[in-house]
Amino acid sequence: MKYTVRANSNIALVKYWGKKDSKLKTPLNNSISLTLDSLHTTTSIEISDRDQVFFSDHELTNNEKEKIISLVDIVRNDFSIDKKVLINTKNNFPTASGLASSASGFAALAYAIDKVFELNLTDIEISKYSRLGSGSACRSIYGGFSEWLKGEKTDGSDSYAVQIREQNHWDISMLVVIVDDNKKDKGSTEGMDLTVKTCPFYPAWLETIDYDLNEVRKGIINKDLEKTGLIMEHNCLKMHATMMTTIPSVIYWKPSTLEIIQKVKELREMNINCYFTIDAGSNIKILCENYHVNQIKNYLKDSKGIKNIIWCKAGSAPFVMSKS
Ligand code: PMV
């Protein structure tokens, strides 16, 4: 049986930054995200006579293939399965440029593996497997708003995501403003490991995270854009402040990133409630009311650095698109 599945990307409102265990990909702090409807990975998987992985119709070899097959191997080992797989995966948005392509990619993969091996895993189990591919992927197993619980156990068995509120809970928009669609120079794993090791402010990140998590959780439950947005922005700036003060420094921003930050602040002065967040890359995401989307897009349209703006709303959990 060949399964084609789709998983959506997610953007953290309260970020994950710092690993407790790099092999298990367990985090040093909880994080909260919104699953997006317009950025997704589509993955087909079927049993084959050898392991093969295609990304956008090009066969992967060496490290890139290894990263994907190692997750299949973990599941094969856990369930004593000796079947090989043929995987074909593609994203409908730029890869590895701070738009959480690894989140949708590994969520789709873990979900697809469950289907092709007919395992009937629970959401929590699929969330844990996708975490082993890329930490933030564990949040893409749910629609709407999710929280990744860091867990306490040394084997990572209690580190997975849970849903805070479903997709239809809050009809809100996130504009993904692309200023650079090239692959970033430094991956998030390298960036966060350097931060944990060398940033003098990293302890402050951990000391203040519970406040951010509590407020954003409340903000989501009460559909309070101002509370959610202000804390989301501050949390993002704290994360980037820790990156910038590692040795050597990690600076993901481009001049256009700062230009858009400034524009978001100007829009707020014009009583257009909108807030920014930025991941390990230079692209900006703007959280706003649906009825402000056109005004915001108009206000940004003269900024030279913008390559594209993608309008997203809350997205769904992964699903099977077809089986044949
Ligand atoms: O899951 P990773 O290794 O791609 O790390 C994601 C890190 C951030 O996007 C910066 C924050 C987050 O919580 O998604």
Q: Token pair for residue 119?
A: 């395992």
pLDDT tens for 29-55 read: 999 999 999 999 999 999 999 999 999
What separation in Å is there between the alpha carbon of 93 and the centre of ligand 1?
17
Over residues 56-97, the pLDDT tens digits come to: 999 999 999 999 999 999 999 999 999 999 999 999 987 766
**Phi-psi sector, 216: left (phi>0), alpha (psi -120 to 50), beta:** alpha
| pTM attached to this predicted model | 0.97
**Ligand 1 site, residue 106, Cβ cutoff 6 A:** no
C-beta 102 within 6 A of ligand 1: yes
**Residue from 186, 188, 194, 257 whose mutation best tests the ligand 1 pocket (most atoms within 8 A of CB):** 188
Distance CA 173, CA 175 (A): 6
Tell which one of 17, 128, 190 to mutate to probe ligand 1, the residue whose CB is within 8 A of the most ligand atoms.
Answer: 17
